[in-house]
Structure 1
Amino acid sequence: MDIGVLLPTGAAQWGPDDDPRDLVALGRRAERAGFSSLFVNDTLIGPRVEALTMLAALAPATDAVTLGTAALLPHLRRPVQTAQALASLDLLSGGRLAVAVGAGFPGRFGQPLYALSEVPWARRFARLDETVALWRTLWGGGGSFHGEFLRFTAYRP
């Protein structure tokens, strides 16, 4: 059985004397204790350590645990830059990255994030599917991508 740890990256989860940099040490302790994965949440609501930054800090500090998102919200980021960041995290972690994505839910954990990111709430699932398709095209070394929402033309010098 694989059991993982969801790291408490939100400031509301820390005590007044806690240092968020201790999350890296917590990740190392969890790995030594036999946990199989370390996951981080992704949101703009409330102060927290940003998800991909946290995974980047954990990559060189751990050896074997899977590092993952629970769940990454692609609409909060520019798609091509996110593809590069995820590919870089996978390289820096030696192939230990697991990416779960989400489109957000109605209520305070979903719709307000779309307003903050200036991405329309309507058709969010189609936009999510297209974002993942773009990422796969980029990771596969494909050239251009032309979808309904996203376009990318490969630069060839």
Structure 2
Amino acid sequence: MTAPRIGALMWPVQSWPEAGETWRLAEEFGVGTAWVYDHLAWRGTTPWYDAYTTLAAAAAVTSRVRLGTLVTSPNFRHPVPTAHAIKTIDHISGGRMEAGIGAGGTRRTSDSGVLGGEEWTPGERSARFAEWTELLDRLLRGPVTTYEGVYYSARDAVSEPGCVQRPRVPLVIAATGTRGLRLAARLGDGWVTTANVPGRDPADIAREQLDGLRKACDEEGRDPAELRRHLLTGFTGEPWLESPAAFDDLAGRYAELGFTDIVLHWPRPDTPWEADLNIFETITTTYATPAS
């Protein structure tokens, strides 16, 4: 069993240059990936800075850690300018960008409905997510994309010079249901879940979702080993940051299930994600990703 790669979920709540110091510290701790939520706000939190401009700034002050969104939201983004931003950050970072994508949340305190219009039904949200992801995939592969969808379109969108990473920046797709897992199997380079269903054991949820992903990969003709499998922790009450020993136990169990990546929230005082930064450092340095 291979030890999981450790990622850090970074909170876009600090202004620069204080935030830059935190991103540099994450790299110093040896995390393999550093992610940021993509919202206009998050559960009413202010200040809350933009994900993509934050990643561009973080790319300029780091040199090794991979950077990405967990996850980009179609609630307020169109694939064409999003692909342009992703490609730009891939160049700024020297090929360290990863694009996490999700269907978008339904909380109005974050960003749901911020552009006005009718509320999306679950079926429409799912259909939009699939179309959004398909168009983004085409735009990142380039060189010129024309696409007429039900919800999103592009006309002669030029992508040259393209991404540093070929054939494009990796896509990490958040999905739990059958349709989303098929999308992850078809277009994803990775998959992410929180394994959070209130009242149920998260390990059981994770096992079921991994089984669903394997089935989806089989239906799409993909080898599941081609996808990195990310667990975003911090929503199930498990003591990931209680101690290094607690982390080792949980990480071992989820690695045995098939997860390749464990993402921890950067400790944030006076929130449910409060934790001892020294414990966080011990964990991340112990599991540090070797410099390439």
Q: Which residue of 2 aligns with 1:7?
A: 10
Q: Cα RMSD over matched residues?
A: 2.1
% identical equivalent positions: 32
Gaps of 5+ in 2: 159-292
Q: Which residue of 1 aligns with 2:114?
A: 116
Alignment of structure 1 residues 28-67 onto 2, 5 Å: 28-45=24-41, 46=45, 47-67=47-67
Alignment of structure 1 residues 1-157 onto 2, 5 Å: 1-10=4-13, 19-45=15-41, 46=45, 47-108=47-108, 113-118=111-116, 120-122=119-121, 123-141=124-142, 142-154=144-156
Given that residues 70 and 101 in structure 2 are in contact (C-alpha distance below 8 angstroms), is that contact kept between their aligned partners in structure 1?
Answer: yes
Which structure would you say has the larger Rg?
2
Of 100-109 and 19-28, the range deviating more from structure 2: 100-109
Query: CA shift at 1:109, angstroms?
Result: 5.7
Query: CA shift at 1:75, angstroms?
Result: 2.5
Tell me the amino acid that sits aligned with residue 19 of structure 2. L
The one of the two structures with greater contact order (alpha-carbon pairs below 8 A, sep at least 6) is 2
* Compared CA separation, residues 137 and 34, structure 1 to 2 (3 A): same
* Compared CA separation, residues 37 and 121, structure 1 to 2 (3 A): same
Gaps of 5+ in 1: none
Number of residue pairs matched by the alignment: 147
Tell me the amino acid that sits aligned with residue 121 of structure 1. W
For residues 86 and 23 of structure 1, the distance between their equivalents in structure 2, rounded to whole angstroms, comes to 20
For residues 31 and 81 of structure 1, the distance between their equivalents in structure 2, rounded to whole angstroms, comes to 28
Query: CA shift at 1:134, angstroms?
Result: 1.1
Partner of 2:57: helix, strand, or coil?
A: helix
For residues 114 and 137 of structure 1, the distance between their equivalents in structure 2, rounded to whole angstroms, comes to 26
* Compared CA separation, residues 143 and 30, structure 1 to 2 (3 A): closer
Tell me the amino acid that sits aligned with residue 4 of structure 1. G
Give deviations 1:5-41, integer Å, cap 9, x for gaps: 111213xxx6xxxx44311111111111211111111
Given that residues 9 and 20 in structure 1 are in contact (C-alpha distance below 8 angstroms), is that contact kept between their aligned partners in structure 2?
Answer: no
Give deviations 1:64-109, integer Å, cap 9, x for gaps: 1010111111231232111101111112111111111112344456
Give deviations 1:104-133, integer Å, cap 9, x for gaps: 3444566xx231123642211211111111
For residues 64 and 125 of structure 1, the distance between their equivalents in structure 2, rounded to whole angstroms, comes to 35
